[in-house]
Structure 1
């Protein structure tokens, strides 16, 4: 499995600020308390990465889409900002050290960034399920990374 990060953009929407961070904390508690599932109109999970600089665990609520063979697809959209979200950079640095909380259980996962036709096919499914991702992509010149999370065995 590979994780080849994509470049940041030169323009994009404003990065989420302090208010969004507060909402994210509430969102994560709701996801964990409800055992995952739907949050509004999207399926959501709590992604725990290891900080690439700090080495500390970092939690983020993330929308997910079903992948093939019991995998999860997530998009590093950052609402269409020019820069990638921190969780994406953490995954790029340590793709084999992530976990997700969904459906009332915690699963160790390995992250793999999709490229080429595989990314395009997944992107079409994601945009068909949630049209706002096309709007996020239109706000920036960076390619929004699509990440596949695969359960680790053992």
Structure 2
């Protein structure tokens, strides 16, 4: 089940990168409006979230006693999923809100490749007995197990992919 979730994440990422390849770098770095992120800034944010999530998981699994995921954790995870699919806008937590003013798509792809390889290693090395344990603290939903964390990463990606699609349409009309 971890593998299928990871592969879905990877498929989504590859599809997005494929859609963005060939677009002008100026367009990819143009903010949608004043104070809003550009497409490449949004991609940079997605990478930051994955990097920080993976770093947290790597630290957390080193602990001897991990909390088991409960019904309350499942409910908070479900509410997070609903919120991300609702189309609502959210302010990014400070840790993942500082994005570069300008970035090339190619450099972002290289960073994302590295982040994904690290995530894949983390998932491969995760002991079976930790699959139902809380390994990631989401800033709003609280502790999540690895399945809920991967669902969050996918839902977060989808949330921002919709924004990127709207920006692309706006620029290419």
The normalised TM-score by structure 1 is 0.30
Question: Relative CO higher for 1 or 2, CA cutoff 8 Å, sep ≥ 6?
Answer: 2
Higher helix share goes to which structure? 2
Higher strand share goes to which structure? 1
The normalised TM-score by structure 2 is 0.28
